[in-house]
C-alpha cells in the first residue's frame, strides 16, 4: 500500500490502524465509505458496486459506499455474514475554513455482541464465547506463548475454560476441560455451540497445532484480547463487581479445577462487551455446567447426520431440526435446537419428558388448545432482554403483555391435562419424580399479574414506535400527565386562532 497523500486518506489510515480486524465504515458526508480490502469484501457481501478512488498517486484505491440513512440494513448484513463492523463518524460539522473534520470510531459491532432484531437469527442462539487456558505450571506459559510457540503451549495438566453468553437472551454459562483430551472436548463443545464470535487471549496459544478440520466450519469471528484480561484475579474481581456479590461460590464456579483456578475466561466476556456499547444489566447470573451432562455430538457428527444444517448440495429441509421443528415460539425453536445438539444422558430427565409427551399425545384436545395458546406468545426471552437492556420500545411492552396474557390460560390447560393424566399414568411415570413434568412446568409458569397490570395501565393502546415520542403513556395512569395533556390541548385551542385569520 502506498503512503497516503491526501489528508483525508491519512486520517482514514490512522483510524483503520486502530480497527484492523473490522470493516471500517468511514463517514464521508451522506455516505459511509469503505476502502481497500474492506471495500472488496463489503461489495461482495452487499452486492454493491466496487468503484475506485484514483487520487492516490495514480493508484486505484478500491472503494464502495452505502448511504448513511440506509446504513443499518447494510451493517446488519455485514454482521450476519460474520464480520466486525467499525463505524467512524464525523465528529464536527464541516464548515468554511476547516480543512478536514474530526472523525472517530463511535461503535464497533461484532457478530457476538449484536442484539438488534435484524442482527440475530430468531431461532438460533447468538453466542459470544471466550476461551482461556490456565496452565498448571503457572501463567507464564500462556504469556510466553508468542515466543515459545508450540513448545510453550504443550502443558498436559492445563485447564481450558470456556464461557459463553447470548446477549439477546441473557444466557451466560461456563465450563472447563482438563486432561489430555481437553482440546478435543473444547472443539466438540464449540462445534455444538456455534458461537458467532470467540474471544481468545493474544497471543494465540490455544491451538498450538494446526486448526483441525472441524474448526474451519465454525464460522466464528475471532477476537484477540490482551492476556491480562484472562487472568484469574482480574476475572474474579470483574465478575464479583458485575454480579455485585462478595464471592462467586453461589454460581458454582469455584473448585472445578484441579489446580484451584476458576474459569478465568468469563471475565473476558464482560469487558469485551463494553466497547460494543452493550448494556449488561440483564446478565444477572452465570451458571457452571459439565459437558458430560449430555450425549456428546461432535461437529463432524452434527454435520454428517445433518442435525441442524444440510450438507452441501442438500435441500434445506433435509435436516433433523427441520423435520421435527413445528414449535410455535422462537424460544421453543431455540430450545429444540439445543436439545438436538445436547441430548440427555439422565434417564430420569428423559423419562420425565417422555411422560409429558405421552400425556400430551393422548390428550388431543388439551394439546391443541395449548398449542393455539402458544402461537400467540412472542419471544419472551428476547423481549425481557430488551427490557433489561433499556432498549424496549412501548410496542415491545405491549407485545410482552400480550404474550403474558396467555399464561393464565396455559396454566389452566395444564391443570386440566395433569388432573386427568395423573390418574392413569402411574405405570409409566418414574418413581423418583413425584410431580410430573407438566405440573412442574405449570408451577414454573408465572402469570406475572403485576407486570401485565403495569403495562395495561401504563402504556397506551396504539403507542408510537419510540419511547421519546408523545402518546406513550395511557390516560388515567398518571394524573399529572393527564392534566398536562389537557392543558396543552386547551392551550393550543386558545392560542391558535381559527385558521382563517392566520397570517
Partner 1 sequence: MIRRGYDAELDELHDITKKGRQIIAAMEERERKRTGIASLKIRYNQVFGFYIEISKANLHLAPADYERKQTLVNAERFTSTELKEHEQKVLSAEERVLAIERRLYSEIRESIAREAGRLRRTAAAIAQLDVLVNFARIAATRNYTRPEFTDKALAKKGKRGLLMIVGGRHPVIEKLLEERGERFVPNDLYLDDESQFLLLITGPNMGGKSTYLRQAALISILAQMGSFVPATQTKLPLLDRVFTRIGASDNLARGRSTFLVEMSEVAAILNTATAASLVLLDEVGRGTATFDGLSIAWAVVEALHSGARPRTLFATHYHELTELEQLLPGVKNIHVSVQEAGSEIIFLRRVEPGSANKSYGIEVARLAGLPHDVIARAREILRRHEQSEEKLTQELSPGAAGGAPTAPGPVHQTSFTAIDESVLDAIRGADLNKLTPLEAMNLLAALQKQLS
Q: Are 94 and 148 in contact (CB under 8 A)?
A: no
Nearer to partner 1, 121 or 284 (CB): 284
484's CB contacts (< 8 A; 6+ apart) are: none
Q: Which of residues 139-198 bind partner 1 (CB under 8 A)?
A: 170, 181, 184
Nearer to partner 1, 166 or 231 (CB): 166
Minimum Å gap between C-beta 185 and partner 1 is 9
Minimum Å gap between C-beta 164 and partner 1 is 17
Q: Which of 339, 376, 412, 475 binds partner 1 (CB under 8 A)?
A: 339
Nearer to partner 1, 267 or 319 (CB): 319
Q: Are 9 and 26 in contact (CB under 8 A)?
A: no
Q: Which of residues 205-234 bind partner 1 (CB under 8 A)?
A: 212-213, 216-217
Residues facing 287 on adjacent strands: 173
Minimum Å gap between C-beta 180 and partner 1 is 10
- The answer, yes or no, to whether the previous bond of 289 is cis (omega within 30 of 0) is no
246 contributes a contact to partner 1 by CB under 8 A: no
Q: Which of 392, 398, 415, 435 binds partner 1 (CB under 8 A)?
A: 392
Q: Which of residues 395-434 bind partner 1 (CB under 8 A)?
A: 397, 400, 404, 407, 410, 414, 428
Nearer to partner 1, 271 or 467 (CB): 467
Convert residues 444-463 into a mask of x (bound to partner 1 by CB under 8 A) and - (unbound).
Answer: xxx-x-xx--xx--xx----
Q: Which of residues 462-501 bind partner 1 (CB under 8 A)?
A: 467-468, 470-473, 477-485, 487-488, 490-491, 494-497, 501
Minimum Å gap between C-beta 488 and partner 1 is 5
Judged by phi (left if over 0) then psi (alpha if -120 to 50, else beta), residue 116 lies in beta
334 contributes a contact to partner 1 by CB under 8 A: yes
Nearer to partner 1, 208 or 458 (CB): 458
Q: Which of 21, 70, 295, 365 binds partner 1 (CB under 8 A)?
A: 295
What is the rounded distance in angstroms from the CA atom of residue 200 to the CA atom of residue 189? 16
HSE on the CB side for 119, CA within 13 Å? 24
Question: The sheet that has 103-109: what strands, in order across it?
Answer: 51-56, 59-67, 31-35, 23-28, 85-90, 103-109
Q: Which residues of 296-330 are buried (b: 16+ CB within 10 A; e: fewer)?
A: ebbbeebbeebbbbeeeeeeeeebebeeeeebebb
Cα dihedral 321→322→324→328 (10° resolution): 100
Q: Which of 147, 317, 423, 426 binds partner 1 (CB under 8 A)?
A: 317
Only one of the segments 113-121, 247-255, 261-269, 299-307 lies at the binding site for partner 1 (rule: CB under 8 A); that segment is 299-307
Q: Which of residues 252-291 bind partner 1 (CB under 8 A)?
A: 281-282, 284
Size of the site for partner 1 (CB under 8 A): 119
What is the rounded distance in angstroms from the CA atom of residue 80 to the CA atom of residue 21? 16
Nearer to partner 1, 43 or 178 (CB): 178
Name the nearest CA neighbour of 166 among 331, 406, 3. Answer: 331
Only one of the segments 25-33, 122-130, 141-149, 440-448 lies at the binding site for partner 1 (rule: CB under 8 A); that segment is 440-448
Nearer to partner 1, 114 or 473 (CB): 473
Minimum Å gap between C-beta 121 and partner 1 is 16
Only one of the segments 97-105, 128-136, 265-273, 309-317 lies at the binding site for partner 1 (rule: CB under 8 A); that segment is 309-317
Q: Which residues of 247-281 are buried (b: 16+ CB within 10 A; e: fewer)?
A: ebeebebbebbeeebbbbbbbbbbbbbeebebebe
Only one of the segments 143-151, 223-231, 253-261, 438-446 lies at the binding site for partner 1 (rule: CB under 8 A); that segment is 438-446
Name the nearest CA neighbour of 189 among 273, 309, 290. Answer: 290
Minimum Å gap between C-beta 333 and partner 1 is 8
Residue 218 C-alpha cell reads as 465454525
Provide φ and ψ at 43, rounded to 5°.
-65, -30
Nearer to partner 1, 216 or 434 (CB): 216
Minimum Å gap between C-beta 145 and partner 1 is 24
Minimum Å gap between C-beta 11 and partner 1 is 37
Q: What stretch of H or E contains 201? A: strand 197-202
370 contributes a contact to partner 1 by CB under 8 A: yes
Give Dmax (Cα) for the chain. Answer: 89
Amino acid at each position: 500500500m502506498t503512503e497516503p497523500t491526501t489528508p483525508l486518506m491519512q486520517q482514514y489510515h490512522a483510524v483503520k490502524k486502530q480497527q484492523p480486524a473490522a470493516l471500517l465504515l468511514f463517514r464521508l458526508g451522506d455516505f459511509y465509505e469503505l476502502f481497500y480490502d474492506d471495500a472488496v469484501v463489503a461489495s461482495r457481501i452487499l452486492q454493491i458496486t466496487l468503484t475506485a478512488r484514483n487520487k492516490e498517486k495514480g493508484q486505484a484505491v478500491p472503494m464502495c459506499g452505502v448511504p448513511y440513512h440506509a446504513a443499518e440494513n447494510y451493517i446488519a448484513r455485514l454482521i450476519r455474514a460474520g464480520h466486525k463492523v467499525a463505524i467512524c463518524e464525523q465528529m464536527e460539522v464541516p464548515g468554511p475554513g476547516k480543512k478536514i473534520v474530526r472523525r472517530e470510531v463511535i461503535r464497533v459491532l461484532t457478530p457476538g455482541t449484536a442484539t438488534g432484531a435484524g442482527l440475530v437469527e430468531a431461532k438460533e442462539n447468538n453466542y459470544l464465547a471466550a476461551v482461556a487456558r490456565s496452565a498448571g505450571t503457572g501463567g507464564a506459559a500462556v504469556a510466553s506463548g508468542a515466543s515459545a510457540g508450540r513448545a510453550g503451549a504443550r502443558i498436559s495438566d492445563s485447564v481450558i475454560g470456556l464461557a459463553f453468553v447470548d446477549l439477546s437472551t441473557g444466557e451466560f454459562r461456563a465450563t472447563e476441560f482438563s486432561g489430555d483430551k481437553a482440546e478435543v472436548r473444547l472443539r466438540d463443545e464449540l462445534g455444538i455451540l456455534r458461537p458467532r464470535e470467540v474471544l481468545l487471549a493474544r497471543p494465540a496459544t490455544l491451538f498450538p497445532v494446526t486448526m483441525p478440520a472441524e474448526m474451519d466450519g465454525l464460522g466464528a469471528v475471532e477476537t484477540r484480547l490482551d492476556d491480562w484480561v484472562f487472568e484469574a484475579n482480574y476475572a474474579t474481581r470483574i465478575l464479583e463487581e458485575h454480579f455485585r456479590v462478595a464471592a462467586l461460590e453461589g454460581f458454582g464456579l469455584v473448585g472445578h479445577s484441579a489446580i484451584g483456578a476458576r474459569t478465568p475466561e468469563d471475565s473476558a466476556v464482560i469487558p469485551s462487551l463494553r466497547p460494543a456499547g452493550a448494556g449488561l444489566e440483564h446478565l444477572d447470573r452465570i451458571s457452571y455446567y459439565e459437558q458430560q451432562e449430555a450425549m456428546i455430538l461432535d461437529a463432524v457428527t452434527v454435520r454428517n447426520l445433518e442435525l441442524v444444517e444440510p450438507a452441501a448440495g442438500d435441500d434445506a429441509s433435509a435436516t433433523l431440526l427441520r423435520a421435527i421443528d413445528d414449535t410455535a415460539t422462537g424460544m421453543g425453536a431455540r430450545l429444540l435446537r439445543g436439545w438436538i445438539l445436547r441430548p440427555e444422558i439422565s434417564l430420569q430427565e428423559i423419562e420425565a419428558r417422555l411422560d409429558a409427551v405421552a400425556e400430551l399425545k393422548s390428550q388431543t384436545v388439551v394439546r391443541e388448545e395449548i398449542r393455539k395458546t402458544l402461537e400467540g406468545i412472542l419471544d419472551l426471552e428476547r423481549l425481557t432482554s430488551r427490557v433489561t437492556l433499556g432498549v424496549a420500545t412501548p410496542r415491545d411492552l405491549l407485545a410482552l403483555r400480550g404474550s403474558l396474557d396467555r399464561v393464565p390460560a396455559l396454566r389452566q390447560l395444564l391443570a386440566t391435562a395433569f388432573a386427568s393424566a395423573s390418574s392413569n399414568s402411574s405405570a409409566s411415570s418414574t418413581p423418583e419424580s413425584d410431580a410430573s413434568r407438566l405440573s412442574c412446568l405449570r408451577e414454573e409458569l408465572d402469570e406475572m399479574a403485576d407486570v401485565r397490570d403495569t403495562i395495561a395501565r401504563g402504556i397506551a393502546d396504539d403507542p408510537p414506535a419510540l419511547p421519546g415520542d408523545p402518546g406513550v403513556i395511557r390516560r388515567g395512569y398518571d394524573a399529572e400527565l393527564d392534566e398536562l395533556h389537557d392543558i396543552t390541548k386547551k392551550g393550543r385551542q386558545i392560542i391558535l386562532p381559527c385558521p382563517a385569520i392566520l397570517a
